[in-house]
Structure 1
């Protein structure tokens, strides 16, 4: 899971805890942060205004150092939203990591503003997807078709914001389970 300062609180906490609860190990990484450091989160609330209300959230621990990560060692990627994607997409290492998951056709879950990183990585051409509605012009310019709701297209699962968590996470977990069923079991030692 790629995280950063002022990522959306629920979009970091809930996927992390949910995936851990169903038996997945989740590494959280942020460029320029070491394991054990934290990122500040923001809480976005939808109250009928033209956009969301933002308040300070919690401190979310980064449990793995970004520079120590080899994407080839991972089965899937989660890209949460909030404001963090605005600057995370400026790191070449983040974009290279995202490209690895698409080139290897590994499961990727992106939510809210997270697709800004995918657009910057140049991996959206031909996909059907969704994102936070204000990000729609950006992802369409990156070559995807817009769908208004949680969407699964090949290896990509997208949702518009944290209210999509139940459907978005269920779809991602289904994709992870399907992916693990198609992998060959390891040979037993003689």
Structure 2
């Protein structure tokens, strides 16, 4: 398997499981993973939030861990990477206000490189204007953003994921097994037992 270089774009209050689990999984199978945030550099951290499903009409939120960034945002460009990951949480709302983040997401999309996004992450894809005509899943509260961006919103079980070409999306962290497996397939990563 050829090692892929994968970029994560995150911000404060990224969902804890949606950054930590895919970061560790992609690293574990041998890919190089860089995590960046606008205005931050290597060694800085982002605060995470834990979203949980406890029987209420929507998720609850608790303070998570600090996640240490391992690359400088100002030094990255699409050309250096094979794929992009956009986790959820509240961070995508903030990230969508940065023109440079939108331009970076657009560059990955124009290059038809694999993009994996989960939960509220597709809100950033919608803001970047890169999902028109695509099949997309996200946290149900994001449905209007997805539809207004011209995508076909797919309601999936919280454990489901959907792939449309090089785009892999899912509704929330309970979908990690399906979401990460589909992303690995798009990357061409072969896992054998």
Q: Does TM-score exceed 0.5, indicating one fold?
A: yes
Name which of 125, 143, 168 aligns with 1:118: 125
Task: Compute the displacement of 1:147 (Å).
Answer: 1.3
TM-score by length of structure 2 reads 0.91
Corresponding residue number in structure 1 for 2:5: none
Q: Verify: 1:100 aligned to 2:107, yes or no.
A: yes
After TM superposition, list the pairs within 5 Å mapping 1:74-85 onto structure 2: 74-85=81-92
* 5+ long unaligned stretches in structure 2: 1-7
Name which of 97, 104, 122 aligns with 1:90: 97
Task: Compute the displacement of 1:123 (Å).
Answer: 0.6
Structure 1 SS opposite 2:177: helix
Whichever structure has more strand as a proportion of its residues is 2
After TM superposition, list the pairs within 5 Å mapping 1:121-160 onto structure 2: 121-149=128-156, 150-160=161-171
Task: Tell me how far apart the structure 1 counterparts of residues 62 and 187 of structure 2 sit (CA, whole Å).
Answer: 33
Task: Compute the displacement of 1:148 (Å).
Answer: 1.9
Corresponding residue number in structure 2 for 1:181: none
Structure 1 SS opposite 2:50: strand
Task: Compute the displacement of 1:38 (Å).
Answer: 0.4
Task: Tell me how far apart the structure 2 counterparts of residues 173 and 153 of structure 1 sit (CA, whole Å).
Answer: 14
Runs of 4 or more off by more than 2 Å in structure 1?
Answer: none
Q: How many residues were matched structurally? A: 178
Task: Compute the displacement of 1:24 (Å).
Answer: 0.5
**Which is higher, the Rg of structure 1 or of structure 2?**
1
* 5+ long unaligned stretches in structure 1: 179-190
Corresponding residue number in structure 2 for 1:65: 72
Corresponding residue number in structure 2 for 1:183: none
